[in-house]
A and B are shown apart, each in its own frame.
Chain A
Amino acid sequence: MADNTITKGNYEPVVYDDQYILMVNGLKKYFPIKGGLLNRVVGHVKAVDGVTFNLKRGTTMGLVGESGCGKTTTGRTILRLAGEKTDGQVLFNGKEVYDLSPREMRDMRTKMQIIFQDPFSSLSPRLPVGEIIGEAVREHNLVPKAEFDDYIDQVMDKCGLQPFHKDRYPHEFSGGQRQRICIARALALNPEFVVCDEPVSALDVSIQAQIINLLNDLQEQFKLTYLFISHDLSVVEHISDTIGVMYLGDLVEYGSKEDIFRNPLHPYTQALFSAIPIPDPTAKMNRIVLEGSIPSPANPPTGCKFHTRCRMCTQKCKEVTPVQREVEPGHFVVCHNYDRQ
């Protein structure tokens, strides 16, 4: 029987620190499961279950994990795109995103943008490219009418699109070009923070490189902050400064790229990294193969959620939920193995 009560307020409120553009504290997002005779709530899918991290201005955080672990929901919940949060804090530039009035939220939207995974379904087929990119700019009155056309040309140029593309429709473009349109659409609003939700997963290898380079260049130019969601670890390693690893709604490990790749602490992170195929046929590796599959997020295991597949599982892991602890400076892990230190 799934537990359908929600515990709230189970986190220490954070104090705003100026160097962080985004502070996420104990964020939870549950989706209700309805059923039974009266269509009552019978349980919750715990998509995001207590995620805590801080993101410094002008850096990139990579969020990795298997599909269904809540990476995308985390990104969308931060942007307030997934309805109300269940619990926790999201401080963007020191302001709680979920406390803003609709009017304030509207202004805030220009500061935080998202690039979606699939460039084939995230562009309206009925709008020409210029309109796709410019629609939000006009809505928010960001530039005077007289300069509007020039502004759109500038944005397109920065993203590697030609001005004559403006009157074309999305179906006339290839995958890589469409992703450039998506990026231009997000950047037209001059955001400070962009959630990139698997922006290169649907693209070919050589196109991937172009888009990754473009994202890097734009970050330098506009001092952008990215939350880069991907399941491709090599791409995440290339683009990120800090990395968070998610498993079943939990952020199990979080730290700088160097720390995480040099010294992965959580058994899940270790297994994940050992599964990366290396393009060198002579390389021999010790692969940690995870048995079984990811449990249902509607009824996650008690204690540590990973204990059903963990090779270092102890009795304690099955009973007590581990808490996030800082093992090295800036390197956090949620695992009982590191309790002793």
Chain B
Amino acid sequence: MAKKNDGYLSAAESRRISRENRRITDQLEKKRKRKNVPESEYLTQMRDPENAVEFDDLHTYFFTDAGTVKSVDGVSFDVPIGKTVGVVGESGCGKSVTSLSLMQLLQRPQGQIISGSIRLNMGNGKAYEISNVPQEKMQKLRGNMISMIFQEPMTSLNPVFRIGAQIDEVIALHDGEGKSKEEIKKRSIEALDMVGIANSEGVYNMFPHELSGGMRQRVMIAMALVCSPRIIIADEPTTALDVTIQAQILDLLRNLKDKINSSIMLITHDLGVIAEMADYVVVMYAGRVIEKGTAEEIFAHPAHPYTIGLMASKPVVGRKVDKLYSIPGKVPNPINMPDYCYFRDRCEMKLPCCDGEYPCMISLSPTHKVSCYRFYEEHLKEAEAVDMPEEIREQLRASAQIAAETEK
């Protein structure tokens, strides 16, 4: 028994799981591989036509031989048109999987969208349900509608092809119908110009290794933006870069977004970058959204204990602390998620009621939502009595007060 808790699986057990997995994934794959799916099957309505993407109770699971990993377990948030939404969280919290679900780039057949929906606004009143879109149609959406800037420019560029060929390929695949090679080349060079590469014709004929890290990231951005997508997913676009280069790249992203009027979904773990870029912030923990709101709300009045802990654990230039706050414990095992609040075991402000089932989202203001029992009206009093660091208590009080005011 003790071994079982350690994540130990017998061979027979493992075989049983993988047979079961095969059964589930085969079914889903069969559905996906059908040909000539009528458009009506994936046509849907946006809840709000002002949104570019709506994630609604998305569940993305990975069926591994050790058990089912619920990487994304009920995520809902919106990306409004022309805005930047920042998604923050520790590694493994499901932020990348959320974006890969939107691109349909999950590692299949293990990774599958199980339930929930991702609605993509196609403009003129049309909307697609991404989880039902067949593969050949998805090919058309990627690049034109949604595109992605990957984290590591070193590994995401192909070292054996010239920069030009790699950008040309994007145009030819997604938007190349009826275009001659010269036209495509011209467009590639324009894209390189757009991202601020001075010697664009020269760079067109270079190999990735001839460029610096910042230049490579610019090429990646050029590749992602060359077909003017409506949604740009930037997955940790500056993590591998130096601060001075990071500043350049963030400036560039912001300007380009306005130029082609698209939305950005910015995935990062750097709260500084989020504060600078994002209009809305979504905080994820262990596959769920625990708090969301506008950037001002989240940074001025973080409500969820995890968000507060995350902010306190990052040193800030000009703010002096003797000891950094560190969140105790670690993320629960994704295969065996508890049935209570996932953060309870690490939470220093837990209440008796936290033993109950996973808390629902509660609104602190029309835009600011948090999933924590502390802000349920019937528990507000109890929450005051718990022992905790004074500065955190102040943060919580302020948030609770705002909640109470909006209630009235």
CB–CB B269/A205 < 8 A: yes
Which residues of B have CB within 8 Å of A278? 272, 275-276, 316-317
Which residues of B have CB within 8 Å of A212? 315, 324
Which residues of A have CB within 8 Å of B299? 279-282
Given A205-B271, A216-B323, A278-B272, check contact A290 B314 (CB 8 Å).
no
**Chain B interface bracket (under 10, 10 to 19, 20 to 34, 35 or more):** 35 or more
B192 interface residue per 8 A CB criterion: no
CB–CB B244/A271 < 8 A: yes
CB–CB B275/A280 < 8 A: yes
B287 to chain A, nearest CB (A): 16
Nearest opposing residue in chain B for A268, CB measure: B244
CB–CB B317/A261 < 8 A: yes
Interface centre among B244, B296, B313 (most CB of A within 10 A): B244
CB–CB B246/A293 < 8 A: no
Mark interface residues in A51-86 (1 if CB within 8 Å of B CB, else 0). Answer: 000000000000000110000000000000000000
Choose from A272, A273, A274, A289 the contact partner of B248 (Cβ within 8 Å).
Answer: A289
A105 interface residue per 8 A CB criterion: no
Residues 27-45 of B at the A interface (beta carbon under 8 Å): none
Give bound CA distance, A290 to B245, whole Å: 8
Stretch at the interface among A89-97, A231-239, A327-335: A231-239
B116 interface residue per 8 A CB criterion: no
Choose from B251, B296, B315, B324 the contact partner of A281 (Cβ within 8 Å).
Answer: B296
Residues 259-295 of A at the B interface (beta carbon under 8 Å): 261, 271-283, 287, 289-290, 293-294
CB–CB B314/A209 < 8 A: yes
Mark interface residues in B271-293 (1 if CB within 8 Å of A CB, else 0). Answer: 11111101000000000000000
B194 interface residue per 8 A CB criterion: no
CB–CB A293/B243 < 8 A: no
Which residues of B have CB within 8 Å of A321? none
Give bound CA distance, A67 to B309, whole Å: 30
Which residues of A have CB within 8 Å of B309? 206
Mark interface residues in A191-208 (1 if CB within 8 Å of B CB, else 0). Answer: 000000000000011101
Which residues of B have CB within 8 Å of A294? 212
Give bound CA distance, A238 to B315, whole Å: 6
Interface centre among A206, A282, A287 (most CB of B within 10 A): A206
CB–CB A231/B326 < 8 A: no
Q: How many A-B residue pairs have CB under 8 A?
A: 115
A120 to chain B, nearest CB (A): 13
A162 interface residue per 8 A CB criterion: no
CB–CB B243/A272 < 8 A: yes
B330 to chain A, nearest CB (A): 7
A213 interface residue per 8 A CB criterion: yes
CB–CB A233/B317 < 8 A: yes
Give bound CA distance, A67 to B246, whole Å: 12
CB–CB A261/B318 < 8 A: yes
A174 interface residue per 8 A CB criterion: yes
CB–CB A213/B324 < 8 A: yes
CB–CB B212/A174 < 8 A: no
Residues 234-262 of A at the B interface (beta carbon under 8 Å): 234-235, 237-238, 261
CB–CB B269/A204 < 8 A: yes
Choose from B243, B245, B250, B330 the contact partner of A233 (Cβ within 8 Å).
Answer: B243
Nearest opposing residue in chain B for A177, CB measure: B330
Given A213-B323, A290-B244, check contact A277 B273 (CB 8 Å).
yes
Q: What 9 A-B pairs have minimum CB-CB distances, sorted nearest first?
A: A277-B272, A209-B313, A238-B315, A209-B326, A275-B247, A209-B324, A281-B295, A279-B271, A66-B242
Known: A209-B325, A273-B317, A293-B212. 11 other contacts (CB 8 A): A205-B90, A205-B269, A205-B314, A206-B327, A208-B314, A234-B314, A237-B315, A271-B244, A279-B299, A281-B275, A290-B248
Which B residues contact A (CB, under 8 angstroms)?
90-91, 212-215, 242-248, 250-251, 269-276, 278, 295-296, 299-300, 309-311, 313-318, 321, 323-327, 330
Which A residues contact B (CB, under 8 angstroms)?
66-67, 174, 204-206, 208-210, 212-213, 216, 231, 233-235, 237-238, 261, 271-283, 287, 289-290, 293-294
